Amino acid sequence: MAETLDDILTGDSELPLGDDLRRTIGAWLDHLMSERGQAEATRTAYERDLRQFLSFLKSHNGHPPCLGDLARLDARTLRAFLAQRRRGGAVSRSLARSLSALRAFFRWMEREDVVRNGAVMQIGLPKVPHSVPKPLTVEAADDVTSLPHEIEDWIVARDRAVMLLLYGAGLRISEALGLTLRTAPINGREIMVIRGKGGKERLVPSLAIVSGAIETYVRLCPLVIEPNGPLFLGARGGPLSPRLIQLAMERLRHDLGLPDTATPHALRHSFATHLLSAGADLRQIQELLGHASLSTTQVYTEVDRERLLSVYDAAHPRAGRSG
């Protein structure tokens, strides 16, 4: 099992750190969770990125990293770290996230008057290729989220309920798996209070079909679902892993002949794209998705434009003609 920064901070790690750096990292992680309200997924990603950098720095310097090493860090060493990750197969998006994590750490240390070093700010973020979300068709999304008639398998009911939350409510998978019996849209509740990225809350309405799928899962589930515990459970109890939903989607891709781009997150893309195609206002979609900026939501206008052009080319009597 891969080591985490928690292993390092408790000393149970093959990567030793100077005591000063260990205490500083612990304080930063506490800051992320308490003061900034960072999502657990963000904290985990920052942990991973910082751990990779510290491993590189130990090998590069030949001794356990300490605060003095961070104070003396130069742009050349940072570029060597990114180059090593690139040689290891990391793509630009991963490198950009790693550098963003380091920037956040160094900015915090400067604010706390722990270490002042602007070298990390001298490195430009790798250019991330512009990518357009790849939603499913309406028909494919319906096939993925439809429950078999007279369903009795609680695992299937569970997986489809989660997928309906992604497609029917536009939730992130972490948001869907963060629901409890008391926050789920069941027992007459039609609105969910969702805590998204950065701890920001938003109100999301639930369709009757989504609520019905969740109620079916709850009825069939043989395990005890605690009122304030996770709504969606694994086969042995405990919180459901996002990986199991990804595997369920892989099986559906095979069974339904869908492309590799048909992922759980593509269901959230499909929610936004299909609403836009049906005439929903872009700002309404922004609020439902929990995007901080409208520019993030505007990418779906490009998806919809591509769809309209393909329909136009296929249907217009002059399409394909020249002159």
Q: Which amino acid is at 72?
A: R
Is residue 58 annotated as a catalytic residue, yes or no?
no
Instruction: Tell me the pLDDT tens digit for each residue of 113-125.
Output: 999 999 999 888 8
Instruction: Tell me the pLDDT tens digit for each residue of 185-194.
Output: 998 888 999 9
Give the model's pLDDT for residue 322.
44
For residue 4, pLDDT beyond 60:
no
Q: Which amino acid is at 49?
A: D
pTM to 2 decimal places: 0.62
Give the pLDDT mean for 29-44: 73
Structural contact between residues 206 and 199, judged by C-beta atoms closer than 8 angstroms: no
Give the span between the Cα atoms of 234 and 225, in whole angstroms.
11
Give the model's pLDDT for residue 311.
47
User: Looking at the domain that runs over 138-268, which CATH code has it been given?
Assistant: 1.10.443.10
Q: Which residues pair with 204 in a beta bridge?
A: 192
Is residue 253 annotated as a catalytic residue, yes or no?
no
**Burial of 162 (C-beta count, 10 Å sphere; 0-12/13-18/19+):** buried
> How far apart, in Å, do the first and last CA atoms of the chain sit?
64
Give the span between the Cα atoms of 274 and 207, in whole angstroms.
15
- Model confidence at 72, pLDDT cuts 50, 70, 90, reads very high
Give the model's pLDDT for residue 33.
76
Residue 224 three-state SS: coil
Catalytic residue among 85, 97, 269, 291: 291
Domain boundaries, the chain: 5-122, 138-268
- Model confidence at 12, pLDDT cuts 50, 70, 90, reads very low
Catalytic residue among 51, 85, 97, 268: 268
269: nearest Cα among 302, 310, 243: 302
Catalytic residue among 197, 202, 253, 307: 197
Q: Which residues pair with 195 in a beta bridge?
A: 201
Is residue 197 annotated as a catalytic residue, yes or no?
yes
Is residue 265 annotated as a catalytic residue, yes or no?
yes
Is residue 87 annotated as a catalytic residue, yes or no?
no
Instruction: Tell me the pLDDT tens digit for each residue of 91-141.
Output: 888 888 899 899 999 999 999 999 999 999 988 887 766 566 788 888 999
Instruction: Tell me the pLDDT tens digit for each residue of 276-315.
Output: 888 888 888 888 888 877 777 777 776 666 555 554 555 5
Is residue 291 annotated as a catalytic residue, yes or no?
yes
User: Looking at the domain that runs over 5-122, which CATH code has it been given?
Assistant: 1.10.150.130
Residue 16, number of CB atoms within 10 A of its CB: 14
Give the model's pLDDT for residue 1.
37
Residue 100 CA: distances (Å) to CA of 39, 42, 51, 86, 88: 16, 11, 14, 16, 19
